[in-house]
Structure 1
């Protein structure tokens, strides 16, 4: 097991360094843009998986090389900061950016969706199922108590993830431009042990065009040409 984890960590480090060397170039904005030299996120790692192998095969997990490096560094740090948690990332963008249906953004490699981390009925970390019948997780609806069937949102694990993303971005001279998550759940997110630190991030306070309860959307702050 230790050898396997070491191999996975080495692979992620290689992917991150390779992505940085590629030097993606983004253009425009998240809702009207494009990207050159994008990279694909790994389909899985020691503590994370992609939301759908089919979608990955279709190339729907392309991002800017800087975004890839930030995400992978955060996942590595989470192995210690949130042991046992199983993270799942969702949609990001096309290889060359541009219109990415059904999303209104995700056009220049700087937008990534993350499925909420969950716990099962026994309180154990679990992976949120993302079957094709539920649009790979995007049609899942959590109730007012942040529950869906046998699963409940792990707000503590989500808070830790966002903080690690922020720290990894800052370490590279970048940042998080915007986080979109169901505003009804924000009080519970801010009530976690790391919640006070989260308040320095920019969360959308208005109502997005679709409910963001089963996932949280992150726009990364990376300079782009117009």
Structure 2
């Protein structure tokens, strides 16, 4: 009986370790060959996709298990631009913990339940939030579908959580500029239309509406707990 319990405990620890550190271990085995995107975001694939780090000083994945399974891989340019933006935001938005969501497979292709995310140029960014006025990482767990089942009202509130529109706007502002430095541009931002006005009213967001293309009509998923960003190559 003791042997069975010991084996069960060791197996559980190994499974936890694989889920928790698996993505970072697999990143070490990646090829350094630059990525190649083929086809559009809704009908494409990716060659030499790169896994995003599971965490950094001011960012983290929506799910370490999801990252280990390969659901947070992007084009190498997107990875580099995202990490450069987070590094800059350490100074611009101190204390804010950003969370990125699903992106796509390392090889691209159909990525259920998403309709895009197929060529390494699509990223879901979970909304930055405050809890009772203090910045925290958006809570993600299996109980809220890793953040995708949270519901925010037209004021950006969900219980004690409040969307931090200033930090979201700062992220998009920096991401827009840094993307261009890495041979990309932001092609489309999908965010709940009823929340966009709050975003544009924030101080960093005052110019976003004229600089970036946002969806006008509601999408099939509301996009209140995250904002979807499609990038495009500037030299395509």
Any conservation in 1 of the 2:44–2:118 contact (CA below 8 Å)?
yes
SS at match of 2:44: strand
Alignment of 1:142 with 2:146, yes or no, is: no
Q: What are the superposed Cα offsets for residues 87-129 of structure 1, whole Å, 9 maximum, x if unpaired? A: 00000001111100000000000000010000011x1111111
Please state how far the C-alpha of 1:197 moved relative to its aligned partner: 2.0
Distance in 1 (CA, whole Å) between partners of 2:154 and 2:218 is 16
User: TM-score, normalised on structure 1?
Assistant: 0.88
Any conservation in 1 of the 2:124–2:229 contact (CA below 8 Å)?
yes
Q: Which runs of 5+ in 2 are unaligned?
A: 1-26
Q: Size of the alignment, in residue pairs?
A: 207
Any conservation in 2 of the 1:38–1:64 contact (CA below 8 Å)?
yes
Aligned partner of 2:177 in structure 1 is 167
Larger Rg belongs to = 2
Please state how far the C-alpha of 1:224 moved relative to its aligned partner: 9.1
Q: What are the superposed Cα offsets for residues 37-76 of structure 1, whole Å, 9 maximum, x if unpaired? A: 0000000000000000111111100100000001000000
Distance in 1 (CA, whole Å) between partners of 2:171 and 2:33 is 26
User: TM-score, normalised on structure 2?
Assistant: 0.84
Question: Which structure ranks higher in relative contact order (CA pairs < 8 Å, sequence separation ≥ 6)?
Answer: 1
Which stretch of the first structure deviates more once superposed, 168-177 or 43-52?
Answer: 168-177
Any conservation in 1 of the 2:62–2:99 contact (CA below 8 Å)?
yes
Aligned partner of 2:204 in structure 1 is 194
What does residue range 150-165 of structure 1 map to in structure 2 within 5 Å?
150-165=160-175
Please state how far the C-alpha of 1:142 moved relative to its aligned partner: 0.7
Aligned partner of 2:42 in structure 1 is 31
Aligned partner of 1:185 in structure 2 is 195
Alignment of 1:95 with 2:96, yes or no, is: no
Aligned partner of 2:11 in structure 1 is none
What does residue range 122-137 of structure 1 map to in structure 2 within 5 Å?
123-137=133-147
SS at match of 1:59: coil
Any conservation in 2 of the 1:93–1:100 contact (CA below 8 Å)?
yes
Aligned partner of 1:50 in structure 2 is 61
Distance in 2 (CA, whole Å) between partners of 1:102 and 1:81 is 34
Distance in 2 (CA, whole Å) between partners of 1:70 and 1:49 is 15
Runs of 4+ in 1 over 2 A off after TM superposition: none
SS at match of 2:227: strand
Any conservation in 2 of the 1:112–1:219 contact (CA below 8 Å)?
yes
